[in-house]
Structure 1
């Protein structure tokens, strides 16, 4: 990998840093400075790309842009409908503002990626962004610090948000793990040496597992399966892997019960929910925050199944958590499909499903395998998170995946 800081290299590096490396509202160097202040600079820097031949024509045929325009238009229509008392809908205007910002970021990234040179540079700098994330997660794992600060708003606001830094302060393990996995999927084939490639994959996998994210571990497992075992794994091997998982699960459970190994609050519950298959349903519902959210989210959807509850209302699911669980009175459903159903009703299900269809790569795409793996992992992510269309990182990754899926083996095709 080489740094190339010409025009395409510099802008690509800036985009990767702003919208992949931290993927949220704050930068790592100046904590508390919103990344949105850099948006005018980005817009100015990408302007020359619009003068390139066919750039505007390519954008007009871009189905991903069309999806987000329809999504935004529908969102604004629902905001208007909420003003009618008969609909019984409400609006979360903070969510609306964030989605409008995401549309602006997406448009910038789509414009930039109309250039094949930009696609190559962004993919290369994504590799270095992933290396940064790996280093930070490994650092956090050895500098966990005091979990007593976990619920301290001051500590959380002053802590770096890059990759959610999940292993350290347990801010958002899913975001951390999935961001690393996405980056790995899109960059690992840039390393041609088999030994170096394997080291890269295993190191990234270690960083993912250190977040203690169940969905992250599952996503990384899917990547490993598709890369090394798809079409090669026999039934006996599958049974061996399952047996090893069961043995490992009971071993971890025993060590945690004997307090030989201990983790911070929330992390222990998350692990025990996986490694203790004999928990009763009552225990799962009363002690597992995700099960509580799932139950209440489904109930909230059924309150208004046709038009939904209003924009951003999926972020206000009651937790009903017991005294010995993590604190909180409301949260999101940790499922993007449920989030769309709660906000938009049944129409939301069709809307979100259409995103996956338009991201499917061309049959003769040079990057078909990477794009298909990304989509499988993205689908898994959507089952475990309601932020699959909120995180800024996806406003860069989705256009990149869409673009890679339309670069064919014989010629470049875009649309």
Structure 2
């Protein structure tokens, strides 16, 4: 069931990234990307813009910058994998996809969050456009029909998504997250991330965060909101610029939070296991699948996939929090002996360099059967014994709170901000 679901996500795309592994043929590519730049999802308690609805976008939707990022990602993918209209080979040298979109050539899956759907639409607009009269259409003289064609995509339901946002109920996962956030080690990690306990108290008092917010994901959401406001040229409060709080300290803390959600193989499997198994399924059954699959997700999705596949790089451009439109490339190749293998690439930020990622315990050309064996050995693929029933005691748990935060657009009912000292 999970395999079939993820297979529907596939999108055939061609990209132009040269491979350092000689004598291979590209058969299929799957791309997992984070959504583009957006407006804040939930204002923090002392936010001067607490009542701002961020119209015309609304809370948690793509901004003009986010739309442009996603569109340019689509153009980049086209340049890498799609044959030129004049028949020229794409940048990768592999003629994976024809320039004219045809039904069945492209399948896309997104999470149920609006910004991932908007991102998928913008990526598709950059990836395919009508190359000739056969698919061009009239649009009241606007010229739109010469530049854009509508392409369908699929949305994974919130209650069953264990692939792109991991919102499907799961008691075992929730229990592990609660234990993590209650652990002394995690609290010390956050404290080290912001420098010391004094800085942590400073941030808590000025942002109005509760103890529960502070020891779960509050620092991530705070960093995220400030980052989104900065992208919108909104003046940030003076306290955020003092002590190096933003962006320096909070960006490190945000990285800790994102990594915590995929800190163990059990947590990754129970939250995003269907994505991992789906990627392997598509690769093994590439003959019956589209040549390209697009998965529109979140920073946590990208981070989890990197850890699940054990991807590493010596290039510093591949390290750090997945930025807006960060994209992982899962390429399936066949060598001169007919052996199937996977190659991995990563572009961590919009306009950044594409770097090669190598699975731990494997090489640049990782045989498909070995990659699957590594995933099985690490317990990254779904197991029959996985306990994902909903336990009444875990209703409203910390992980469910996180999922509610990213899947809704309303304001979270924070506690009333405490009085803070003037600076």
What TM-score range do you get, normalising by the shorter chain? Answer: under 0.3
The structure richer in helix per residue is 1
Greater RCO (CA < 8 Å, at least 6 residues apart): 2
The structure richer in strand per residue is 2
